[in-house]
Amino acid sequence: MSDAIIRVENLSKKYVLSHQDEAVGSYKTFRGAMTNAAKSVVSAFNHKKQVDHKREEFWALRDVSFEIKQGDRVGIIGRNGAGKSTLLKILSRITEPTKGRISIKGRVASLLEVGTGFHPELTGRENIFLNGAILGMSKVEIQRKFDEIVAFAEVEKFLDTPVKRYSSGMYVRLAFAVAAHLEPEILIVDEVLAVGDATFQKKCLGKMGEVAEGGRTVIFVSHNMQAIRRLCSQAVYLEKGTVCDVDSVEEAIQRYSSQASMSTFDINLDSINRNSGFGEQARLLRLQLAPGSSFSYGEPLDLIFTIYCPKKTSDLAVGIGFETLDGNRVLTLDSDHNQPTLQMSPGTHEIHFHIDRNPLHPGIYSAGVAIISHTYPLDYIPNAITWEVTSGSKDTVGDRSYGGCRLPVKVLALQPSI
């Protein structure tokens, strides 16, 4: 008999997508919605077959099978849209599979998005006890861990404040502290940790390592390959909803890094799933290279962001950050760097970025994008796309291991030493 603590057998998940005749965006006017509703009532009986044809089946997962043993540290790796989040939601019992079955032995604590499992009207203190009770712990057990949770989350001053008033960073700190300290047999953590700062991310990785060393199972999804490499002892590699065979974590990372679709320069950001709360006050819709631009080293770089603001919004900044696949930030471009912040009226807007010379040396980089107001992220998509920077016409000396970012300098006249 297998000693697997998690067994996934021929797991599949189907979603049904609806399509509309009009080429409209995600945001509609009230008048338009009412007009469409009236049209649908009038034509419902005459066009039933046509409406049915507008429904499309999308399989997020297909025939996924694997086993995880107690104490394993498993990284779930794959591009955006590969099915990672869907898999974690099924493992966490948030959603049901369409086909197949899963078997899980032990208590599961999941951290899939900001505030997972929290009741917004309850205080931080009350949510700690609520989450412990959901995990099947007694009040005495929770009290024994309480001080350790609070110290780790660094939210002492806000313990008796309703968590709906917490910032996203505070939410994540407390949610992770609860999930990691209340002794689940299985800890599942999604990319949500990207919301926290670098110091907190490092702290979380250390804690997940302690959890795994204590004999408990950790399942971790991240686009940060350095974090995967550091924490995980094995990997499940997903590609378009199916599991691909890999023999090691390193092989999975290499496969992730060498995918052929890394030269896509027109990205539909609106379709990418966000953590809860992001994209409601302002939303990233699209990122593209301007016509005639390229992403080659040393060449002019022109990026176009399309964003949507549902209401008049002030003090906005749009930014993009480039990281190596090991998770090291090498370049950040912000609209408010040495410039005034953006003032946006309601509607859809384009923001153009231009730099005379792309300083990123040839290589593969991950790009995350954000809209920020007063240092608070209104929308944030880590690892929105992976781009491969190629050699440009001005790169005449070839690869001499310059690292991520290479900038021209002005060499001044030499002064004789005294």
Q: What is the value of pTM for the model shown?
A: 0.62
Q: How many CB atoms lie within 10 A of CB 415?
A: 6
* Contact between 27 and 308 (Cβ < 8 Å): yes
Length of the chain: 418
pLDDT attached to residue 6: 92
* Contact between 189 and 75 (Cβ < 8 Å): no
Cα 33 to chain centroid, rounded: 31
Summarize pLDDT for 249-283 with one digit per residue, the tens: 988 888 876 664 444 578 888 888 777 678 888 99
pLDDT attached to residue 219: 92
Please give the span between the terminal C-alpha atoms of the chain, in angstroms, as a whole number: 81
Summarize pLDDT for 68-98 with one digit per residue, the tens: 998 899 999 887 778 888 898 899 888 899 9
Q: How many CB atoms lie within 10 A of CB 187?
A: 25
pLDDT attached to residue 49: 47
- Could you give the 3-state DSSP secondary structure of residue 337? coil
Closest CA to 11 of 242, 234, 186, 235: 242
- Could you give the 3-state DSSP secondary structure of residue 5? strand
User: Within 232-351, where are the H helices?
Assistant: 249-257
Whole-angstrom Cα distance, residue 277 to residue 384?
Answer: 17
Average pLDDT of the residues in 127-151: 87
Summarize pLDDT for 201-249 with one digit per residue, the tens: 778 888 888 888 888 899 998 877 777 888 888 999 998 889 998 888 9
- Amino acid type, 166: Y
- Could you give the 3-state DSSP secondary structure of residue 355? strand
* Contact between 378 and 341 (Cβ < 8 Å): no
Give the rounded percent of residues in the chain with a pLDDT score beyond 70: 80
Instruction: Give me the sign of the Cα torsion angle 232, 235, 240, 242.
Output: negative
* Contact between 265 and 295 (Cβ < 8 Å): yes
Pairing verdict, β 217-221 and 108-111: unpaired
Residue at token pair 């994540």 = 172
pLDDT attached to residue 33: 47
Average pLDDT of the residues in 142-171: 88
Average pLDDT of the residues in 18-43: 47
* Contact between 351 and 226 (Cβ < 8 Å): no
Whole-angstrom Cα distance, residue 284 to residue 169?
Answer: 20
